[in-house]
Chain A
Amino acid sequence: MFASLSERLQEVFASIGRESRLTPEAVETALREIRMALLEADVNFKVVKAFVDRVRDRAVDREVLDSLTPTQQVVAIVRDELRALLGDGPTGLSVSSQRPQVVLLLGLQGAGKTTTTVKLAHWLKQQGRHPIVVSTDVRRPAAIEQLSVLASDAGVRVHESSADTAVVARAEGAVTTGREMGFDVVLVDTAGRLHIDDDLMAELEAIKSSLAPSDLLYVADAMTGQDAIKSAGEFNRRLDISGVVLSKMDGDARGGAALSVVSVVGVPVTFIGDGERIEDLQPFHPDRLVSRMLGMGDVLSLVEKAEQAVSQEDAARLEKRIRRNQLTLQDMRDQLASVSKMGPLEKLTELIPGMNQTASQLPDGAEVNPRALKQTMAIIDSMTRRERTHHQIIDGSRRRRIARGSGTTVQEVNRLLKQFMDMRKMLRAVGGVSRSRRKKGGRRRLPTGMRFPMG
């Protein structure tokens, strides 16, 4: 798997020697690593070229060269530049007075349009809106049925047309129904198509000109490589897309294609999809993509997930502990208790840097198994208060006692402790990164301190 960019830079600078000052040659070595890491993250090679030049200009500055923490300095520059490339575009849907507001979902085959259509409807319902969805995919086998099944699972209204209804008429029918029945958003799913398929691109143009949608969301697979700018670019040229939905972000792709699309095509990412379930859609946070690309894991998302289940003060306390590297087993216990409210632990561990592998080493299915969760809590519950706050004191005989007390084995206790220490280590690595730069764009409910991992 990819070593994180911050780790790589650390290595580069370590091999050069800590004592000596940073030389322009050392910067070049670092830049090579940066280039490689960005290419491995699927950032378009032209974007990478320009990017590396910009970082070079800033990195050869006296201040950086003379600094005692060149790694942090360079990582900070990279992070700033990535962040700048992603911009502060609007996320979510546009605010429109159109009633019903029409949203068109489009993109390449298999990108995730149909799933996203229903996810978006679900998200809108949670915002108090009244969405109706319609399929215009008369080509892919069972595409219409797929949308219907998903929508009915989500309790979302579907506009059905007779089998021989033409594409544009289907969408128009949904808008009419929406207007008559008081739905305020119509979400139009379209068939997947190639950007070089002139006829099918023209079909989208026809839908667009008939419905005048407020939003044209281009659904892009987060795993896309160098081709991303060609396809997104052409969709944008012909249809003037308003936003990108980055799907399948629940995997381990770095999502660098998003960076290329935003910077080359100039369209903001508005949502990300992070799972196959209907709830798995979130408004986009550029900071999180940046830390993901740098390999720092998505600590912010983690904190926010925790926050949804834990009270504000608890979350703030946790964040402070993470920052000071004072995370204790007791905190872990508290978190796990709220995890049960949060959904699969697997998701959560994926968000923590370095935890991904740990999760996959668990026995079959353990990562989504509430029993495993209970077991972990039982282990912590069998510890004394002092053990929970000072894990260093848990020696062999204490481990045996804890295992007995929790009805587990010493190996299981060991595994938990290792997991905990890995988590601390990773969180420390993230916390060590400069936090000098203040930035906006972090949202709403987060207590101010919580933005810290991004600086």
Chain B
Amino acid sequence: MPAETLDALEELLIEADVGVAATNRLIEAVRGRADDGDLRALVRDELLALLEARPASPSPDVSPRVVLVVGVNGTGKTTTVGRLARLLTSEGKQPVICAADTFRAAAVEQLEVWAGRVNADFIRATTGSDPAAVVFDAVSSGKAKGRDVVLVDTAGRLHTRANLMAELDKIRRVAGRVVAGAPHETLLVLDATVGQNGLPQARAFLETAGVTGIVLTKLDGTAKGGIAVAITAELGVPIRYVGVGEQIDDLLPFSAEDYVDALFEPVW
């Protein structure tokens, strides 16, 4: 197989933000097998194997299940909480939405609109108050009312801010005090346009917030979000959902096949 094709594949992966290290690993994995056929198909298989071999969503037999949504600024956390609530209500589940972003201007009001759209319980605090306190209220309320899931929206924070990251730890401890094992799922919302910084982000949120899955948003643009591949490869954190728009139905369970196909689709 001509080296040229390998180069083209490498370029495709780099341009999709998969990153040098993960790209090299993928290329090396297929280099020796170049005679076995289509290189692209080989890489595709490698990617599928990687993205499909993922731990299932933790689904303990507790109620309410607590889902914490975290990430850096502006990635789509609040919108994702709204859309997750919609997925839940469409399965006949009753979510509680918790507004734990007490920092950003009008973050609570933004989420309140989403809660109204899906008719979910909405637990809010005043701007500037302690986010852990509102999480306590929301989880307690969900427990008392026998709700299925509590979705917690948190303020955007850069992973380099040690004190803000510590705040997440506090939120987790408080949730765990009300319901055993909470939060049962912690979703890191990644913007598909993010480049190599996605990896240190994931590493930091995994370390301090125990991330169990990724939501890859804004895949309706021209970015491919390839750093999520590197994250899965390096940290073993699976992609759970993808965001494909700003509307309420624009959140889909992750499909490795669809994702990999889109990765290979010619760039806009």
Contact = CB atoms under 8 A, between A and B. Distances in A.
B162 interface: yes
Interface residues of A, number: 54
Nearest to A111: B74
Contact of B20 (A39, A111, A194, A276): A39
Contact of B74 (A112, A196, A227, A253): A112
Contacts of B193: 108, 221, 224-225, 227-228, 231
Given A40-B19, A110-B74, A223-B195, A251 B223 contact: no
Nearest first, the 7 A-B pairs at minimum CB distance are A225-B195, A110-B74, A42-B195, A141-B113, A227-B223, A146-B106, A149-B105
A196 B222 contact: yes
Interface string A113-150: 00000000000000000000000000111110110111
Given A1-B200, A110-B191, A359 B246 contact: no
A252 B197 contact: yes
B105 A367 contact: no
A142 B113 contact: yes
B106 A226 contact: no
B75 interface: yes
Contact of A226 (B16, B76, B166): B16
A362 interface: yes
Interface of B: 11, 14-17, 19-20, 72-76, 103-107, 109-114, 158-163, 166, 191-198, 200, 218, 220-224, 226-227, 246, 267-268
A145 B106 contact: yes
Contacts of B223: 225-227, 230
A109 interface: yes
5 contacts: A139-B246, A140-B110, A148-B106, A252-B197, A356-B160
Contacts of B76: 109-110
Contact of B227 (A110, A139, A225): A225
Interface of A: 1, 36, 39-42, 45, 108-112, 139-143, 145-146, 148-150, 153, 194-196, 221, 223-228, 230-231, 248, 250-254, 256-257, 276, 346, 350, 356, 359-360, 362, 364-365, 367-368
A276 B157 CA distance: 9
A346 B161 contact: yes
Tell me the dominant secondary structure on chain B's binding face.
loop
A257 to B, nearest CB: 7
Nearest to A368: B163
Contacts of A223: 72, 191, 194-195, 197-198
Given A150-B105, A225-B195, A360 B20 contact: no
B15 A45 contact: yes
Given A141-B109, A146-B104, A194-B220, 15 more contacts: A40-B19, A40-B20, A42-B197, A141-B111, A145-B105, A196-B221, A223-B191, A226-B16, A227-B221, A228-B193, A248-B74, A248-B158, A250-B158, A251-B72, A256-B195
B261 to A, nearest CB: 18
A186 to B, nearest CB: 20
